[in-house]
Chain A
């Protein structure tokens, strides 16, 4: 298919058909990533700026590896090394970057809406690698793709998202993606970590983890920012762990073959029991593997989207 979008800002802007197309394209890159020589020339001569104005290890590395495996040149910029530190506005910083003629800017920023703001001012493609509490579409797509490698059909499946939903861009994008794919989505957290008017979202809301886990097919545990305690949202991290740390006894309440996921980085023993994270039910490292393939697929579609699929190298 011809890819018509300039930017990837959120899940909402993708059609169901496009989401499926991203999954099928990602499958081909999973195959390429399993070869002994993993580099293909399809984005040779293209340049991608990785503008991470907020700390990141796995997302940035994943995009960097994805770009390099497609033979694109990638350039990294972090806030600490950018003029943002000197008081330059975001608009001026990205206009300066664009003047160097990259083909895409991958942006991570602490403020919601910043990716859309940047996209509005730039001609090149903008890929949102996480903006504030708003969206992390590539994480949602890799979560979806990870499960799609196991489940062909999402309908009838129930997914539980557990933890700090209110401040999580991953939760927002996952809820939108999985409800679009036909899953029933549950969320579970203390009320202080639920978004305002959570009942208006396409989810079932729980604050008891035992009830929330019953018969679910997959559980996505989210990272808890430990500062939430200082912000008065939690009395104590120990108390949070006692009520919401996902452990083997919860998993036993779930559907047989339940899958455990986490976007990382994990606080072991707070969000997820360490043995569960390392268990056979865990897809946490599969998510990381899928992440590179999904980001390769996205860079390919956004930077060479007018080309036909046949140009993808055969296995």
Chain B
């Protein structure tokens, strides 16, 4: 039985040490450890303890788009960003709509990162993400998929979506929906409003999102089957989700750091780094999303990590691909919200670890005896410049490129093993 002590750390504002046994947490105790002769000692340097984070929405691009990201580089960025488990979306090439792609993803991940971070593939809901017929969902679950989604290419056919929910519920799997009515969104490239008009860019109204949120809520109610609503961006969607939760309809929802810290103003100057789908919306939407997280209407924060190569974003705005690379910066951006009292540090642990774990059936650490020894040491004061050298993801596409961010992961442990360190 191997014991380890992480001394000189802070948990929920208490200074103390964390006692581990093998891959589990035994206890956190205030003060300094007494006799530690039988334990391996690790100096936590006064850093804060947070659970290893769970990101239920990333794009790792492998197979097919390894020039943007591969499983190895994506997991390095996850480790450095504090994420120990990630759900990887199916829009690869070939699409993850069959067991062989799922197995390839899992094998690559375990080969490069045997001790974590861990990938949980999300299987395609429909074959080739075409929204025409169901993918072999049981086969995908059997191969190791953790959830199903047509993310990026929402299922337009309401009947097919209904059947997908029913079929997935037999398998006790959650369906994640990218909420966007494709007709209303059309070929829009940013939020529809004052700025899109001014820039002469085709807009996407927020109703494109809320219509599909409404559809999903009504189907979840009719079938009494869970639906997870991906990357919610608008205040009107929040109102609908709040109504659904009041009625105990089994929907859960995520939003992303970029919708919490930036709004459509970021697009000024045709800034392709701020081009994302759904688009950055208004300041009012940003505040509504922050309130929704505080009030539990939106359950979790996910990154929607969408890395792209530099040359793909160096084009006129309408031609640029959607997406923000998020794994490296998500925690720092959220710590900024903690500093602004949008929520507390303990809420961050809930929003980025325990709640995503609960929704998708993944083990999360709450620092209770017996919990997995999956945790990060965070220096909330550490300032770092966001640039091509400091980002571990191959995707350097973020609106905060060139900014200084505050707060950073200094070490990351999974099952008691250090998988990443800046110390």
Determine the distance from Cα of A5 to Cα of B317 in the docked complex, in whole angstroms: 24
> What's the nearest-Cβ distance from chain B to residue A162, in Å?
18
CB distance from A95 to the nearest CB of B (A): 11
9 contacts between A and B (CB under 8 A): A89-B311, A89-B314, A91-B314, A112-B201, A113-B270, A132-B318, A134-B200, A172-B200, A197-B194
Chain B residues near A89: list those with CB within 8 A: 311, 314-315
List of B residues within 8 angstroms of A166 by Cβ: 197
Contact A113 B201 (CB under 8 A): yes
In the assembly, what is the distance between CA of A117 and CA of B318, in Å? 12
Extra inter-chain contacts (18) besides given A113-B200, A196-B196, CB under 8 Å:
A89-B315, A90-B315, A111-B316, A112-B270, A113-B199, A113-B317, A114-B316, A116-B270, A133-B200, A134-B199, A134-B200, A135-B200, A166-B197, A196-B194, A197-B193, A198-B197, A200-B197, A201-B197
Residue of B nearest to A173 (CB): B200
- B421 contacts chain A at the CB level, 8 A cutoff: no
- Please, what's the 1-or-0 string for A90-104, where 1 marks a CB less than 8 Å from any CB in chain B? 110000000000000
Question: Please, how many residues of chain A have a CB less than 8 angstroms from a CB on the other chain?
Answer: 24
Complex CA distance for A133 and B315, rounded to whole angstroms? 17
Would you call A109 an interface residue if the criterion is a C-beta within 8 Å of the partner chain's C-beta atoms?
yes
* CB 8 Å contact bits of A193-232 with B (1 = contact, 0 = none): 0011110110000000000000000000000000000000
Q: Which residue of B is nearest A111, CB measured?
A: B316
A133 to B, closest residue via Cβ: B200
Docked CA distance A195–B319 (Å): 21
Cβ contact within 8 Å between A109 and B316: yes
Asked whether any CB of chain A lies closer than 8 Å to the CB of B323, the reply is no
Contact with A along B363-382 (1 / 0, CB 8 A): 00000000000000000000
Residue B269 lies at the interface, judged by CB distance under 8 Å to chain A: yes
Chain B, interface size: which category? 20 to 34
Q: Does any Cβ of B come within 8 Å of A108's Cβ?
A: no
Task: Name A112's closest neighbour in chain B (CB-CB).
Answer: B200
Taking CB atoms, residues of chain B closer than 8 Å to A91 are 311, 314-315
Closest to B196 in A: A196
Within 8 A of A (CB), among B258-281: 269-270
- How many Å lie between the Cα of A200 and that of B197 in the bound state? 10
Partner of B199, one of A109, A112, A197, A200: A112
List the A side residues contacting B316 at CB < 8 Å. 90, 109, 111-114, 117
What distance in Å separates the Cβ of B96 from its nearest Cβ neighbour in chain A? 28
B280 to chain A, nearest CB (A): 16
CA distance A20 to B201 in the complex (A): 29
What is the chain B residue whose CB lies nearest that of A171? Answer: B200
> Taking each of B198, B200, B269, B270, which has the highest tally of chain A beta carbons within 10 Å of its own beta carbon?
B200
A187 to chain B, nearest CB (A): 12
CB distance from B311 to the nearest CB of A (A): 7
A169 to B201, CA, bound (A): 11
Interface bits B27-64 vs A (CB < 8 Å: 1, else 0): 00000000000000000000000000000000000000
A135 to B194, CA, bound (A): 16
Answer yes or no: B192 CB below 8 A from chain A CBs: yes
Chain A CB count within 10 A is highest, among B192, B193, B194, B311, for B194
A-B pair count, CB < 8 Å, reads: 65
Answer yes or no: B203 CB below 8 A from chain A CBs.
yes
Contact A117 B315 (CB under 8 A): yes
How many Å lie between the Cα of A93 and that of B264 in the bound state? 30
Partner of B193, one of A134, A196, A201: A196
Query: Which positions in A face B, CB cutoff 8 Å?
Result: 89-91, 109, 111-114, 116-117, 131-135, 166, 169, 172, 195-198, 200-201
Could you say which residues of chain B place their CB within 8 Å of the CB of A200? Answer: 194, 197
- Contact status B201-A133, CB under 8 Å: yes
Report B-chain residues with C-beta under 8 Å of the C-beta of A109: 316
Q: Measured between alpha carbons, how far is A169 from B270 in the docked complex, in Å?
A: 16
Q: Which of B308-349 contact A (CB under 8 A)?
A: 311, 314-319
Instruction: List, in ascending order, chain A residues with CB within 8 A of B197's CB.
Output: 166, 195-198, 200-201
Closest residue of chain A to B312 (Cβ to Cβ) is: A89
Assembled-state Cα–Cα distance A134/B314 (Å)? 19
Nearest chain-A residue to B203 (Cβ)? A196
Residues of B within 8 A of A172 (CB): 198, 200
Alpha-carbon distance between A29 and B198 when the two chains are bound, in angstroms:
32
| Cβ contacts under 8 Å, A169 to chain B | 200
The interface residues of chain A lying within 8 Å CB-to-CB of B311 are 89, 91
Identify which of A117, A133, A196, A201 contacts B270 (C-beta below 8 A).
Answer: A117
A218 vs chain B, min Cβ distance (A): 23
Beta-carbon contact of B194 and A112 below 8 Å: no
CA distance A221 to B239 in the complex (A): 43
Residues 204-228 (chain B) with a chain A CB within 8 angstroms: 205
A114 vs B311: C-alpha distance in the bound complex, in angstroms? 15
- Chain B nearest Cβ from A169, distance in angstroms: 6
Shortest CB-to-CB span from B273 to chain A, Å, is 13
- Could you tell me if B314 and A112 are in contact, using CB atoms closer than 8 angstroms? no
Give the CA-CA distance A113 to B198 in the complex, in Å: 11
Residues of A within 8 A of B196 (CB): 196
Chain B residues with CB under 8 A of A113: 199-201, 270, 316-318
- Kindly list chain A residues whose C-beta atoms are within 8 Å of the C-beta of B199: 112-113, 134
Closest B residue to A91 using CB positions: B314
**Which A residues are in CB contact (< 8 Å) with B269?**
116
Residues of A within 8 A of B319 (CB): 90, 111
CB distance from B386 to the nearest CB of A (A): 20
Separation of A169 and B315 alpha carbons in the complex (Å): 20
CB distance from A67 to the nearest CB of B (A): 25
How far does the alpha carbon of A217 sit from the alpha carbon of B198 in the complex, in Å? Answer: 25
Interface centre among B192, B196, B270, B318 (most CB of A within 10 A): B270
* Residues of chain A within 8 A of B193, CB atoms compared: 196-197
Given the complex of chains A and B, what is the CA–CA distance between A76 and B193 in angstroms? Answer: 37
Residue of A nearest to B319 (CB): A111
Q: Shortest distance in angstroms between A200's beta carbon and chain B's nearest beta carbon?
A: 5
Q: What separation, in Å, do the CA atoms of A252 and B112 have in the docked complex?
A: 78
Chain B residue nearest to A194 (CB atoms) is B197
Q: How far is the CB of A52 from chain B (nearest CB, A)?
A: 15
